[in-house]
Amino acid sequence: MTDGLTEYALRLGDDSLILGQRLGEWCGHAPMLEVDLSLTNVALDLVGQATLFLGIAGDADKLAFHRDVLDFKNCLLVEQPNGDFAQTIARQFLFSNWQELLFRELTQSRNATLAAIAGKAVKEVAYHARLANEWMVRLGDGTAESRARIVNGLDWMWRFGDELFDVDDVVEPLIASGVAVDVRKLRGEWDQRIARTLSEATLEMPKPRRAAKGGRIGHHSEHLGHLLSEMQFLQRAYPGATW
Amino acid sequence: MSKEWPLWEVFVRAKNGLSHRHVGSVHAADDRMAIEAARDTYTRRMEGVSLWVVRSADIVASDPGEGAALFEPAADKVYRHPTFYSIPEHVKNI
């Protein structure tokens, strides 16, 4: 059993790492060169954050490339497949708006390293949220096809939102000692942000769904294993390979 | 209507005190997207502190056919060139 801070750093780092890997899958496949660059820029920001957070928990490279599915502690939202561009944007919309609020609070952490990482990352994530919010509006208030796609994408991602606001026994003591963020307190502001952008996008709030949870304790959807098999291939096939 | 997004010309100010310089172009559907595409394409290696974008279609260009009339008369007026001043070595960006 790892200590609380290590576990918390794994959760923060894995969120960024897995979403970074997902966005990286768009490299060379996005609908426009400009979109390709913007998605991979976001991916690189996230992988950079992951390197820092996982560095608190141990050797970041080893943690990224030599853990199996059950040992990953990311939320289920970030491992969901890219689908079409709209589904990718829906995932980014829910996640980046949450992560921006999270990092804003984390800059106040009593743990100086966490606070410093958050201070650097919050600027990156504010841009990710802006990008995702604007794409939500363009797709929702765009053509009949873009609208249908973003409705479907949001519908896929919606059930993974609740997990972002869960607090368990691992994090509770860290909240009490001022190290971790109490994400429960972010829910109201997140709801408002989501509602504001959806309204601007002329989209309806999706109906409440039964929440899917379990990522924080390693219970993942089938998609994560496939993602890891690609992400970890090189280090598994050629252990210790460098460039 | 074309299915391609319109083209925008991108200008970057490398640092305060310098002027914006043309660096290239991006495709984007609207002005916000153009700024973001320009940011992601042209400032990811710390190239700038400010961005301008303008629709390429809004740029009025001189006619290459009129090149002779427009530009050649300047060729033999060397006295207009500020080459007779010595510039102190420590003055940059002139």
Closest CA–CA distance from residue A66 to any residue of chain B (Å): 31
Per-residue confidence (pLDDT) for residue B1, from 0 to 100: 45
CB neighbour list of residue A26: distance below 8 Å, 6 or more residues apart: A35, A36, A39, A40, A43, A82, A88
CB neighbour list of residue A192: distance below 8 Å, 6 or more residues apart: none
For chain A, what is the mean pLDDT? 96
Cα A205 to Cα A90, A152, A181, A209, B22: the distances in Å are 12, 12, 27, 11, 43
Strand partners, B25: B9
Which secondary structure element, helix H or strand E, spans residue A120, and what is its range? helix A112-140
In A, which residues are within 8 Å of B27 by CB distance?
32-34
Residue A183 has pLDDT above 80, yes or no: yes
Strand partners, B9: B25, B54
Domains of chain A: 4-237 (1.20.1260.10)
Whether A106 contacts A115, CB under 8 Å: yes
Domains of chain B: 7-77 (3.10.20.520)
User: In three state form, how does the secondary structure of chain B look?
Assistant: CCCCCCEEEEEEECCCCCCEEEEEEEECCCHHHHHHHHHHHHCCCCCCCEEEEEEHHHCCCCCHHHHHHHHHHHCCCHHHCCCCCCCCCCCCCC
Counted across chains A and B, CB pairs separated by less than 8 A come out at: 27
CB of B33 within 8 Å of a chain A CB? The answer is: yes
Instruction: Report the chain A residue with the minimal C-alpha distance to residue B30.
Output: A138
pLDDT confidence of A211, banded at 50, 70, 90? very high
CB of B7 within 8 Å of a chain A CB? The answer is: no
Cα A53 to Cα A45, A96, A160, B43: the distances in Å are 13, 17, 22, 26
One pLDDT digit (tens) per residue for chain B, 94 residues: 457 899 999 999 999 999 999 999 999 999 999 999 999 999 988 889 999 999 999 999 999 999 888 888 888 887 787 777 788 888 877 6
ipTM over 0.90: no
Percent of chain A with pLDDT strictly greater than 90? 95
* Residue contact B36–A131, C-beta within 8 A: yes
Per-residue confidence (pLDDT) for residue B2, from 0 to 100: 56
Closest by Cβ to A34, choosing from B26, B30, B32: B26
Per-residue confidence (pLDDT) for residue B18, from 0 to 100: 92
B positions 34-93 inside 8 Å of A (CB): 36-37, 40-41, 44
pLDDT digits (tens, 9 = 90+) for A77-90: 999 999 999 999 99
Closest CA–CA distance from residue B21 to any residue of chain A (Å): 20
Nearest-CA neighbor of A182 among A70, A105, A86, A85?
A: A105
Closest CA–CA distance from residue B82 to any residue of chain A (Å): 41
pLDDT digits (tens, 9 = 90+) for A10-25: 999 999 999 999 999 9
Token digits for A214? 């379990």
